[in-house]
Structure formats: structure tokens, C-alpha cells
Structure 1
Amino acid sequence: MAKVENQIIDLTSRLIQIPSVNPPGYTVNIAGFIKDWLNNLGFRSEVREYAKDKPNVIARVGRGKPVLILNGHMDVVPPGDETKWVYPPFSGKVVEGRVYGRGATDMKGGLAVIMTVFAELAPLVERQGSGTLIFSATADEETGGHPGVEALVRDGVLIGDAAIVAEPSGGFRYYIGEKGLCQVKLVAVGRPAHGSLPILGDNAIMKLVRAINKAEELINEFNRGIKLPSELIDAIKNSAEVYLEASRASGLNLTLSDFERVVGTVSFNPGVVRGGSKINMVPDHAELELDMRVPPGVSPNQVIDYLRNGLGGMADVEVLDISEPNYTSPGETIVRLIHEGIERVLGVTPKPIIVTGATDGRYLRARGIPTVVYGPGELALAHAYNEYVTVEDLLRTHDVMVYAVKRFFGLEK
């Protein structure tokens, strides 16, 4: 066990030391490191590149069905102000049971775990001939995953009977679903005039303000009619409990029902407003970029149609980006095996979660691949200053994943 522990710690640290900041999201160096690492252990891998300098690395062993995918992304968000880090963001420094650095939690710790699990179990899968195990290190998740998992699924490179995405869930939790994305632009058009005679114009900013208020009313109205899938009710409550616990660390006075609404309804966040060109002119154009997250059981297109019909001529609604909410049934084999692994290996009864953000798991689920998100690290540490992952969590998730993968392939009864 000490050998595995040292390997995971060293691997996490070395991956952090290879910057793969997105933007620009170039993965040439880290993909090369992973390919060489696999090659040195005797595993062949292929590289697929759909955007310049953003290669993906895929390795597979075994033959036939079932096919299990272990996935993780290589890119990380920018470190921000480096003076706010206790240790340099790309140091991969190991201090008192923690590995520090940008991407430690999201998600080079997870990458290190699935690399280790793949190397450990691939010979058993190959020898027994009980199916196919795929490892994929992918690009661009932090900006949409389009030349990463989306392209690999579209081309049939990443197709299987189940998948584990090693995004940070923490060792005692796992994610079975995520809200969808609905980002739109509200555009109001007016008529220009001199600012001293506003009566001669039609102020687009004022029109936009009224449209924003009306849009919020419409979303509140829409939310009252939402019917959530019954098999997700417990997961939504679990999610609310997790977010509530995280909020307490920030001293916020929020309640469980506040977070149940956040997870189980369409959220409403006006993110960017633009309008006008000069203080003494009546503006003839104003726009809002609006971010909404959509729960399972609702389509982003339903939300967009509701807004368009309700706003009438107050503002045009332009679509910026959408993705469908998605989830894997708690009864699917891979979900049950991760659940069972946490119970038996860690001695804790885990709770399935729905997350408000998006992962590459959405592309796998859209192809009908049952997908569970399980990996080391806490969601609250992702993208934060002084990001770290604990050695304890790296080992916990490794042990649970080994349990689940072995039983998936019938390697151990």
C-alpha cells in the first residue's frame, strides 16, 4: 500500500508542476507526460487532437464487453494573483498530508488516481479477457470540452457501457447528475436622442431594465410548474445539504430550503450588462447576458420559449449556449458499485448528489453511457487560492475505485 500511496502523491505533484492553464488550454506538455508514463509501463496509447495544441490521450486494454471508461481532464483554470498563494501554484508541494497547487482538486488529483487504477488493474482485465478498460485524459473541460470529450464521443472513440469521471466529489460522496446550461442574451433596441431631451428618444437601457425584471418574474412563474424526476428527490436534498454546509464556512445565513430551490429550479443570474455609448445620449442599444442553470426534467428550450413568449416585444432573446440537464439512474450498475465501494471500503453510507455546474459527464450521458462522477477533492476548493487535495482523499477514492472496477469486470467476487 505504501508503494501505491507514494505513486499517487508523486504523480499528483508532477501533474500539477506541468501548467495546463485554460485559457489557452494547451495540453501538449501534460499529454506528452501522460503518454510517456503509460508507455514506460508497457501500455500503448493514442492521441486525438481536434483543436491545435489540445491533444487528448486514450489508452485501452482488454477486449469485448463490458466497456468501462475512466476519464479526467488535463486543463486547469488560471491561478489568479500568485502572491495570494501560500505555495507557488505550480509547485505541487506536499505539506502535512496535502498536495498544493492549481488543479490539485480540479482535477489533477483525480487524474493521478485513475492513472494509478488503470495501471494497477489493466493487466488483470487483459489477462482475464473480461471486457475492455479505457483510460482517457482529455482537453478543454474548463471551457466546454468541445475538442475533448464531446469530440471523442461524437467520433466513437469514447463509447462504453459505463464511465467514471474523476472530478472532485470527495471520498464519501458521488455525483449522479448535473443541471443543464441555459445562457441567453436579452437585447433591447431604442431610439437615440440628445440627453437633454430624452423625451425625443426611446431609452434602450430603461427598456432592458424592465425586461430584466419581467424575465425574473417569468422564471419564478416557470419554476412553480416544474416536476422533478421522482428518483432524484433524495439526491436534490442531499445536494442542498452539501451546499448548505459549504456556505456556513463563509458565514452566510442560508437555509436548506434555499439550496433545495437552487438545485431543483431554474436559477437566474444576470451576469453582464452593456448599453449606451455616451452620458449625454439616449442609448439606442442595451443588452444583458443571462446565465440560468436548469434542473433535470426541464429542457433549456422550454425556458427560452417561455421567456420569448412572456417578454413579447420588450427585448429579443438570443441563445448563447445551452446544454441539457442530465443524470444517471441510481439503479445503474456503475452507480451501485461506487455506492457499495464507499460503504464497504470506507465504512460510510454515501449520498448521491446533483451538482449545479457542468462536467464532461454530460457528453457521455447524452450518448446513453451510465456515468458517475467520483474523485478526490472538495468542490469548494476547485478554482480557489491555495487549492489542495488531501493524501487521505487520494487514497480513499483510489481504494473505492479499485473495488468498483474489479467488480464491474468480475475480477473479484
Structure 2
Amino acid sequence: MKLPTDPAENLAALIRCPSVTPAEGGALTALEAMLVPLGFTVERPVFSADGTPDIENLHARRSGEGPHLMFAGHTDVVPAGDEAAWTHAPFAAEIVDGVMYGRGAVDMKGGIACFVAALARHVGATGGPRGPVSLLITGDEEGPAINGTVRLLEWAARKGERWDACLLGEPTNPDRLGDMIKVGRRGSLSGTLTVLGRQGHAAYPHLADNPVRGLMTLLDALLGPPFDAGTERFQPTNLEVTSVDVGNTATNVIPARASAAFNVRFNDTWSAESLQAEIHNRLDAASRRRKYRKGRKEPIGFDLAWRDNPSHVFLTHDEKLIGTLSRSVEAVTGVRPVLSTSGGTSDARFIKDYCPVVEFGLVGQTMHMVDERVPLADLETLTEIYRRFIGNWFGEQ
């Protein structure tokens, strides 16, 4: 039986499955076909929740004795957008001048294809890792992330699964393979601030309270001073206003309310709870200090609503996991990777509650873009890094 040792062939099979969130699109079926010949038992649970699409996931396990290694990732992809803007069809996996084009090539079907190829080469050369290996692959990472990794982890844990470490194959390298391993992530907290005013005619402002004035005052309090200067391993906490709206279609009406959505990426100076308290304190102080307009006595009235399930900051300290991956990367590329906590959130925020987790994958420059693509040479290099990591983590080379 032919083993899936070629990462380019593996990736082409996955790209040709149009698995745009929440569609499975055949991607998990293609992945299962690769894993069964390697001795994996595959299950594909479907999870549901009110108001969200059903999501099919994949759990594959190869048994063994000793520490348990998890590889995690997702086969769902973002939409291709205007397919006419693509130089090569987004789900054709065309190869031109040594580069494969397709949605998910980098984020992150490429990482999955390389890990499977690395396992296949290890199985072909040695019979396979002596310890257990699991793949937890979701179809919900690019979507609401409700019926994907978080539910898959809970489901597997209830079945008695325990993991000693996880490698998440997200694209982590900014410029070239070997640049960066993600060893943690900032937290993410989102809220909506609504200022309550008094509607009125724009020609008679003294009879109204314009909430836009109050909103500007309160947003100014959130945007400065800085929350912190950063820490040893994390960038400074940063708040960005992501939308402002008054819901007003008339130009001569002072609106009754104005709202702004914001997102904060925070470091280990804060917890989600302490950051919420700081933001409340800033708003309370600003609402009392300045009014809607000169002459008004009432403080600015506002409501603050938090989005559910904030992402918590975390940092992985597992020396075996980080050291083994770093040495494997350096041995193959000649580059000592930087240990970073930059970037957005990932499913590592769920995995860290079950075992130490790090992230390492392809170069991310074209992810989510038109003509997303990956050099075949990078696929081969990443496969060799993963193969070396697997052997070294299990102490087999």
C-alpha cells in the first residue's frame, strides 16, 4: 500500500476539496484516506449548537506506549472571494514554476499535508513512532470556533484521552521557514460601548444631548494613556476601535445613541477580568469628568456590553517541547527560530487547557489572499522539520 509520503500530493488532494467554513467539502475524507494506511483509527464527530452551523471534525489516533503527542489544525478555509481575480483557480492546486496555488495552501492545509508526509516517512523508515500520536483537525477554525476544536477536545477528554504536548501547524513564519515558533498568544477581549443621548433637531442643539460628543470623550479615555509598556515576552496591550455607528439616516437629526465596538489584545500584565475592570474605571472617570457639552451637569450616560468567551493570554514553558522543535528547525534550516507571542488568536487558546502547545508551520505571507500559494521546496523543508521533530520528541533519533 502506497504511503502518503509526498507533501505536495497530500496538499493537492486537500486543496481540491472546497472546504470553505462550515463545509467539510471532502477534506476530512481525503485526510482520513491518508491516515488509515499509517495505522490510525479515525473518528469524525459532528458537533452542534443553537444558532451555529453543524461542524464535522476529525480525531485520528495511532496507539503506542509512552508520551502522547497531538498535532492540531484545521481543514476549513476562508472564501476565495472573486475567483476571476485569481491567476490560478483557487481549488485546482495548480503548480507553476515550483509553486502550488490554492486556497488553504498556507492556512493551513499545507501544514497538515506536511505532518502527514512526515509521519508516513517515519512509518516507512522505522515502523512508526513508539508512542501514541493523535491528530485533532477541525472544520471550524475560520468560523465561529464553537463546534470545532473546543468541542473536539472536550469530546476526546471524556473518552479518556490525555496528551503530553501539542504541535499546532498554523503558518507562523513571517519571511522564511525557521524564522519563528509561537510559544504563546496574547489575550483578546471585545466589547461594545453605547452612549445614551437625547434625540433632537440639529438646528436646536440646546434641546438635545448629542451622544457622539460623549462617545468621542469616552473613546479618548480608552485610547490613552497606554495600558502598559509590554512585558518580557509580550507586546504592549493595545485597544483598537473597530466600528462606530449611530444608526442615523437623516442629516438634520441629532441621534439618540451612538455606539462603538472595540477589541483589546492584552499581555500577561492583565487577565480578562482585571482588564474589564480597568476599562470600566476609565469610562466611569471620563463620564464624570466631561459632559455632553459645556453647561450640562449630567454625566455622560453609557452602557458597556462584553462579548462572550474572551481569549486568555498564555505562555508555554515546556522545555522538552520547545527545545525539541527549536533544535529540529535549526538542524534542517540552519536558522535558530525566534520564540514569539505575536499575532492574533488561534486554536492554541483552547489546547493550552489540556497540554503544553506550540505553533510552527509555513510562511504566512499569502494566507487569506488572492493567489494564496506555497513553494514546493517549503513543503519539503517543513516535512523534514516535522519528521525530525517526531523522531526527536519520542527519543528515536
TM-score (normalised: structure 2): 0.86
Whether the 8 Å CA contact 2:4–2:120 is kept in 1: the answer is no
More off after superposition, 394-403 vs 306-315 = 306-315
Q: Give the drift of 1:124.
A: 7.9
1:215-267 Cα shifts (integer Å, max 9, x gaps): 1125x1x224x5x2x4x2xxx5xxxxxxxxxxxxxxxxxxxxxxxxxxx1112
Q: Give the drift of 1:316.
A: 2.5
Structure 1: which amino acid aligns with 2:167?
A: I
Q: Give the drift of 1:56.
A: 0.9
Measure, in 1, the Cα distance between the counterparts of 2:125 and 2:396: 7
1:8/1:20 CA distance change after superposition, 3 Å: same
The structure in which a higher percent of residues are helix is: 1
Structure 2: which amino acid aligns with 1:343?
A: E
Alignment of 1:20-31 (within 5 A): 20-22=19-21, 25-27=22-24, 29-31=26-28
1:122/1:161 CA distance change after superposition, 3 Å: farther
Whether the 8 Å CA contact 1:99–1:388 is kept in 2: the answer is yes
Paired residue secondary structure (2:91): coil
Paired residue secondary structure (1:356): coil
- Unaligned ranges ≥5, structure 1: 237-263
Alignment of 1:384-403 (within 5 A): 384-403=369-388
**Which residue pairs with 1:167 in the alignment?**
170
1:39/1:404 CA distance change after superposition, 3 Å: closer
**Which residue pairs with 1:299 in the alignment?**
271
1:376-395 Cα shifts (integer Å, max 9, x gaps): 2x222211121111111111
Measure, in 2, the Cα distance between the counterparts of 1:269 and 1:285: 21
Whether the 8 Å CA contact 1:191–1:202 is kept in 2: the answer is yes
1:88-139 Cα shifts (integer Å, max 9, x gaps): 11121111121111111101111111222233445788777x4211122212
Structure 1: which amino acid aligns with 2:335?
A: V
**Which residue pairs with 2:40 in the alignment?**
43
**Which residue pairs with 2:244 in the alignment?**
273
Structure 2: which amino acid aligns with 1:401?
A: Y
Measure, in 2, the Cα distance between the counterparts of 1:32 and 1:287: 45
**Which residue pairs with 2:55 in the alignment?**
54
Whether the 8 Å CA contact 2:208–2:254 is kept in 1: the answer is yes
**Which residue pairs with 1:189 in the alignment?**
196
Whether the 8 Å CA contact 2:193–2:259 is kept in 1: the answer is yes
Structure 1: which amino acid aligns with 2:377?
A: E
Cα RMSD between the aligned structures? 2.3
Paired residue secondary structure (1:355): coil
1:127/1:86 CA distance change after superposition, 3 Å: closer
Measure, in 1, the Cα distance between the counterparts of 2:200 and 2:217: 20
Whether the 8 Å CA contact 1:201–1:282 is kept in 2: the answer is yes
**Which residue pairs with 2:212 in the alignment?**
205
Whether the 8 Å CA contact 2:54–2:147 is kept in 1: the answer is no
Paired residue secondary structure (1:303): helix
Measure, in 1, the Cα distance between the counterparts of 2:379 and 2:23: 26
Whether the 8 Å CA contact 2:65–2:131 is kept in 1: the answer is yes
Q: Give the drift of 1:37.
A: 3.1
**Which residue pairs with 1:325 in the alignment?**
313
Paired residue secondary structure (2:79): coil
Whether the 8 Å CA contact 2:38–2:123 is kept in 1: the answer is no
**Which residue pairs with 1:245 in the alignment?**
none
Structure 1: which amino acid aligns with 2:31?
A: I
Paired residue secondary structure (2:78): coil
Measure, in 1, the Cα distance between the counterparts of 2:60 and 2:120: 10
Measure, in 2, the Cα distance between the counterparts of 1:361 and 1:126: 30
Alignment of 1:4-403 (within 5 A): 7-22=6-21, 25-27=22-24, 29-39=26-36, 42-51=39-48, 53-121=54-122, 130-155=130-155, 156=157, 159-170=162-173, 171-172=177-178, 173-218=180-225, 220=226, 222-224=227-229, 228=231, 230=232, 232=233, 264-277=235-248, 278-312=250-284, 313=287, 314=300, 315-321=302-308, 322-329=310-317, 332-367=319-354, 369-376=355-362, 378-403=363-388
Measure, in 2, the Cα distance between the counterparts of 1:37 and 1:349: 32
**Which residue pairs with 1:257 in the alignment?**
none
1:287/1:297 CA distance change after superposition, 3 Å: same
Whether the 8 Å CA contact 1:153–1:159 is kept in 2: the answer is no
More off after superposition, 315-324 vs 67-76 = 315-324
Q: Give the drift of 1:298.
A: 2.3
Measure, in 2, the Cα distance between the counterparts of 1:294 and 1:396: 34
Paired residue secondary structure (1:207): helix
1:158-177 Cα shifts (integer Å, max 9, x gaps): 64100111111232032111
1:341/1:207 CA distance change after superposition, 3 Å: same
Whether the 8 Å CA contact 2:7–2:117 is kept in 1: the answer is yes
More off after superposition, 7-16 vs 41-50 = 41-50
Q: Give the drift of 1:40.
A: 5.0
Whether the 8 Å CA contact 1:296–1:325 is kept in 2: the answer is yes
Give runs of ≥4 in structure 1 deviating > 4 Å: 122-128
1:198/1:276 CA distance change after superposition, 3 Å: farther
Measure, in 2, the Cα distance between the counterparts of 1:175 and 1:122: 27
Structure 1: which amino acid aligns with 2:153?
A: V
1:40/1:122 CA distance change after superposition, 3 Å: closer
Whether the 8 Å CA contact 1:295–1:325 is kept in 2: the answer is yes
1:4/1:154 CA distance change after superposition, 3 Å: closer
